[in-house]
Amino acid sequence: MGVADLAEYPWDAVAPYAEIARAHPDGIVDLSIGSPVDETPRLIADALAAATDAHAYPQTVGTPPLREAIVDWFRRRRGVPGLTPAHVLPTVGSKELVALLPLLLGLGPGDVVVHPRAAYPTYEVGARLVRATPLASDDPAQWPEGTRLVWLNSPGNPDGAVWDAAALRRARERARELGAVLVGDECYAELGWEAPWDTQAIPSVLDPAVTDGDVTGVLSVYSLSKQSNLAGYRAAFLAGDPGIVARLLTARKHLGLMLPAPVQAAMAVALGDDAHVREQKERYARRRARLKPAVEAYGFRVDRSEAGLYLWATRGEDAWTSVGRLAELGILTGPGHFYGPSHTEHVRLSLTASDERIAAAAHRLHAVS
């Protein structure tokens, strides 16, 4: 399979339901794609503007201030001490890395790429691009010989599931037995809602409780799209095994995969400021508290969803039927079909809509409950 062989982009199938939702007298409430709607914090936008005299090529490895900011952020926010600039690397968004990592690691036919059972499709796309075999599995005991890359997603998209430190440790031990690279996609880690994650930090795959301080064969991937409203900046990074980081750096230099210098400057500022992250989490908490009871009143059961940006919900019917019902109310959602064959009765509802639109959705759902 090559790029030319990729199937139609799945979200195109939602377009007819979007038209139905737009016809609602009070307008559409788009809860389908988790694209931030709140403003980029001013201190970050100002940092970007101040760095626009970017006449030279940017550094693929990242500027020293950015790399130090990533190291400090992992220590301060993720409980991961001991990293150095050699352990980290900025990336052009996290989706690009997810799609290209099998290629950058040299995987190919005969290799197995494990990804979550409920997963957005880019993990599988990346495996198929290099003709590796994708395997949806959340059980380390089921990961077979020949596994070369394991993706974890905690908190999960779409289901908001969290792997605790003990579960992450079991995954790390199995990956090491197999000689596989273990990668934690952790982009929603600041957004914990339900016990114990409402008061405890969600653990990273690099946490010493997982690795015993040895990050060999382990990477963490993170994005500032959600916590800092920087989706349009394509601001992300990875950290972990310095040997793998060095290999990826060499490949990225050859491919020209480098973040624009102004974005690197803005990222360093964003990573150093925790106040705007708290404010954004509070916004999402308000929206979740408004939307979740309305979804349940309408007859959905919300599964998992203890963290992250989504409600993962089912009425026990085909997801496209639920998508259609909600579209008639002017609410657009994503069908579980997009996230694997085991979840065809779930829909994903994003919290990334304005307070006013979330309130409108809640009102419509309660009105017909």
User: Which of 273, 291, 309 delimits the end of a domain?
Assistant: 273
| Rounded Cα–Cα distance for residues 233 and 122 (Å) | 20
Copy the structure tokens of residue 214.
């040895």
Residues 114 and 200 both lie in one domain = yes
What does the pLDDT average to over 269-289?
A: 98
Residues 261 and 303 both lie in one domain = no
User: How does pLDDT run across 94-143, given as a tens digit for each residue?
Assistant: 999 999 999 999 999 999 999 999 999 999 999 999 999 999 999 999 99
Residues 107 and 252 both lie in one domain = yes
Residue 77 lies in a domain: yes
| Rounded Cα–Cα distance for residues 96 and 257 (Å) | 10
Residue 207 lies in a domain: yes
Copy the structure tokens of residue 236.
């992300």
> Is residue 4's pLDDT more than 60?
no
Residue 175 lies in a domain: yes
| Rounded Cα–Cα distance for residues 309 and 34 (Å) | 7
Residues 265 and 296 both lie in one domain = no
> Is residue 11's pLDDT more than 90?
no
User: Which of 273, 305, 323 delimits the end of a domain?
Assistant: 273
H/E run at residue 135: strand 133-136
> Is residue 331's pLDDT more than 80?
yes
The DSSP 8-state label assigned to residue 202 in this structure reads: P
Residues 206 and 141 both lie in one domain = yes
State the pLDDT at residue 10: 73
| Ramachandran class of 160: left when φ > 0, alpha when ψ lies in -120 to 50, beta otherwise | left
Residue 262 lies in a domain: yes
User: How does pLDDT run across 280-304, given as a tens digit for each residue?
Assistant: 999 999 999 999 999 999 999 999 9
State the pLDDT at residue 62: 97
State the pLDDT at residue 2: 60
The percentage of the chain sitting over the pLDDT mark of 70, rounded to a whole number, equals 98
- Cis peptide preceding 196, ω within 30 of 0: yes
Q: How confident is the model at residue 12 (pLDDT cuts 50, 70, 90)?
A: confident
Cα–Cα distances in Å, from 133 out to 125, 271, 288?
A: 10, 36, 37
Residue 45 lies in a domain: no
Residues 218 and 288 both lie in one domain = no
The answer to whether 333 and 14 are in contact (CB under 8 A) is no
| Number of separate domains in the chain | 2
State the pLDDT at residue 255: 94
The model's pTM:
0.95
* 274 vs 7, higher pLDDT: 274
3-state secondary structure of 162: coil
Residue 58, φ and ψ in degrees, nearest 5: -75, 165
- Cis peptide preceding 64, ω within 30 of 0: no
> Is residue 227's pLDDT more than 70?
yes
User: Which of 273, 305, 322 delimits the end of a domain?
Assistant: 273
Q: Residue 291: give the domain boundaries.
A: 3-39+276-367
Residues 147 and 230 both lie in one domain = yes
